[in-house]
Structure 1
């Protein structure tokens, strides 16, 4: 067995045991591009060895996606196959685990009318809202991982041949996911424990506000009362520990939907709907984006913000040190799963109900009363850099350093 084969075996084991933590008798649903077939077969075998009853695979193909966007009539993007949405809901209700292999081509739809993309994104989000809400409330175990695809690898490494780019990207993925270590599962357990210590510290602080300062950014974010920080491993409704993202370097919590004021500038491109948005600023007043600019992808950003009322409010604040392993690679991944774990980020749209005490048990109305944002979207964008400073404001008005020059301003034992 060569080195790539060994690493693929370890990656599959990591996804099954640490990512979704498949339980005996459980169904695993895998959403994957055709390029991931070799890994998916290994994941299926590992899942059955762990006791899975079924492994269902939902394949996707970006060439077919492009063909539809290019040639289908406009009304096609206002419909979603409800049999599929209902099927995902049923699987969630029956306790399935969900693994998504996320490897989008950043330029796939660059010549497609942004309105067509926005229409289908909204239509799909509406159809899948119950399923997505279940996952965001951690009712089920779910996880995201990535594999190199030709278009994505060439975007990161344009000077290499396609074969070289894919090989290079595999090496990077194995490094930042700790797969290249002798025992990735043990390494992840230790990593989750480190993030848990940071979570415990921040939860003990219960800051009233976070203040962000960097070139182009001067932002004040109110946090909801009884907010809860999370990071690393999560726990499902049935008490099963899982990792929603592999890799992950973040700890995150909930802003008050009406308590964000100031301006923020992105520091990495945002890959949204097969288009890149970059060089953008968002200006907030009383929680809402009231003005925005973009050097690239302005129309795409506009459609994103116009998805619904909640799309112009924040649903997440996340802290990631600039010295994270992913940032240390000095690569722009054009893939939010990686880029958001290289830099502090914010998310427009729906908040995770688990980021407020007892939030998973609250109704939509109760969540709204506590300042929790709701939306059809949840879109992370990166704002971190080596120049970012963040302060926390305590309930008695004291201002304490959290980040200095992009990294933690304190150390925990």
Structure 2
């Protein structure tokens, strides 16, 4: 398969499986100027699939950085109203949203934490309706990534400059199952396998999970009505979409107040264009009571202080250590990829769809049922080949769930 053929398959995959654009539907694409050629392919594929209109928002890394370098902190407290209104209209029209990521992991390194924090809080408030739509699968949405020169250099610093972007393209194609046969058919089979694993966990009805590994001893209580899900979801119109491509996880929500112990990261977290690494979180009755980081300590404190819900966990996800992304031994410095190489958890908002009837609950009812709400949802990686996980049944029976980073059944 030629490089051009792989690109065409990737564009088709993003349209037909990721966002799953329907005839007569509008599609909004958010991306960067690094992706222009590929984005043009995606737009054409979307129109071929019957899209009524495709709108593309391009951003540029240097322009974004200039804003943070020169604007006053007060400017970041004013989130642009048109961005929220554009997404609100997309939701109203039952459109689809596609992110094509190519961001530099170090884009905002050195920017004051106060500016990053102000923007996070302002965006969280302004995009509340959009966040609700995404967290409750009210619209089809998907995130994919393509290489930029700056990102490829971060991932492959030891390669000659001319080989860095091609190497990242090759790695990405493998993670999204492009290279042999039909990528769309490959994904159909992959999603069946993930659904089978989620069904097994839903049949188990574990009351708690207990994680142990170097730097980690964490017990997570699960609500009685929890639901294990995969990266495949459905809109109210019954349109299936895949939010993250690649995806290797099955995930659910914890009981907000039922997390005890401590956990350490095993891969860097890229947050707000900065890296947070070598960190450890300690929990008591669900809340983070201590947070330490060797890299990005101040930013970690801001991340878990964005609002009250940022101090709690909203998601736990299981990914075997031998997943294709983990087996590649590549550190992507991009959560879209790195989270699919490792068991991970997310501080902040839970997906209400991981709770029976959760999408119909008010915020107060969600709290009563142990479902966390927040403007934050940040995944970080905790898995390794040394991690064991036990599943604890309601009667106290303990079963091996993971051993040495792999499924025990």
Same topology, TM > 0.5: yes
Cross-structure match for 1:200 = 199
Aligned residue runs from structure 1 range 139-154, under 5 A: 139-154=138-153
Deviates more, 1:330-339 or 1:76-85: 76-85
Aligned residue runs from structure 1 range 375-394, under 5 A: 375-394=374-393
- SS of the aligned residue for 1:257 comes to coil
1:264 and 2:289 matched: no
- 1:231–1:250 CA contact under 8 A, matched in 2: yes
* CA shift digits 1:306-331 (9 cap, x unpaired): 10110010000000000000001101
Tell me the CA shift for residue 103 of structure 1. Answer: 2.5
Cross-structure match for 2:136 = 137
Cross-structure match for 1:399 = 398
* CA shift digits 1:262-315 (9 cap, x unpaired): 000000000000110000000000000000111100011011011011001000
Tell me the CA shift for residue 179 of structure 1. Answer: 1.4
Structure 2 Cα separation of the partners of residues 362 and 20 of structure 1: 26
- 2:134–2:141 CA contact under 8 A, matched in 1: yes
- SS of the aligned residue for 1:256 comes to coil
Cross-structure match for 1:222 = 221
- 1:20–1:142 CA contact under 8 A, matched in 2: yes
Structure 1 Cα separation of the partners of residues 306 and 194 of structure 2: 33
- 1:349–1:377 CA contact under 8 A, matched in 2: yes
Aligned residue runs from structure 1 range 78-89, under 5 A: 78-89=77-88
Superposition TM-score, scaled by structure 1 size = 0.98
- SS of the aligned residue for 2:282 comes to strand
Deviates more, 1:180-189 or 1:331-340: 180-189
- 2:24–2:52 CA contact under 8 A, matched in 1: yes
- 1:12–1:42 CA contact under 8 A, matched in 2: yes
- 1:196–1:232 CA contact under 8 A, matched in 2: no
Structure 2 Cα separation of the partners of residues 104 and 399 of structure 1: 43
Cross-structure match for 1:355 = 354
Structure 2 Cα separation of the partners of residues 282 and 103 of structure 1: 29
1:319 and 2:342 matched: no
1:13 and 2:17 matched: no
- 2:35–2:102 CA contact under 8 A, matched in 1: no
Cross-structure match for 2:343 = 344
* CA shift digits 1:214-258 (9 cap, x unpaired): 000000000112100001311111101111110000000010111
Cross-structure match for 2:30 = 31
1:175 and 2:174 matched: yes
Superposition TM-score, scaled by structure 2 size = 0.99
1:335 and 2:334 matched: yes
Cross-structure match for 2:294 = 295
1:102 and 2:101 matched: yes
- SS of the aligned residue for 2:87 comes to helix
Q: Name segments (4+ residues, structure 1) moved above 4 Å.
A: none
Cross-structure match for 1:188 = 187
- SS of the aligned residue for 2:28 comes to strand
Structure 2 Cα separation of the partners of residues 131 and 90 of structure 1: 10
Cross-structure match for 1:369 = 368
Cross-structure match for 2:51 = 52
Structure 2 Cα separation of the partners of residues 206 and 343 of structure 1: 23
Cross-structure match for 1:305 = 304
- SS of the aligned residue for 1:189 comes to helix
Structure 1 Cα separation of the partners of residues 233 and 46 of structure 2: 20
Tell me the CA shift for residue 163 of structure 1. Answer: 2.9
Aligned residues: 409
Tell me the CA shift for residue 110 of structure 1. Answer: 1.3
Structure 2 Cα separation of the partners of residues 287 and 370 of structure 1: 13
Tell me the CA shift for residue 181 of structure 1. Answer: 2.0
- 1:348–1:378 CA contact under 8 A, matched in 2: yes
Superposition RMSD in Å: 0.9
- 1:322–1:407 CA contact under 8 A, matched in 2: yes
Cross-structure match for 1:118 = 117
Structure 2 Cα separation of the partners of residues 163 and 80 of structure 1: 39
Cross-structure match for 2:162 = 163
- SS of the aligned residue for 1:258 comes to coil
- 1:101–1:144 CA contact under 8 A, matched in 2: yes
Gaps (5+ residues) in structure 1?
A: none
Structure 1 Cα separation of the partners of residues 226 and 169 of structure 2: 37
Structure 2 Cα separation of the partners of residues 103 and 358 of structure 1: 36
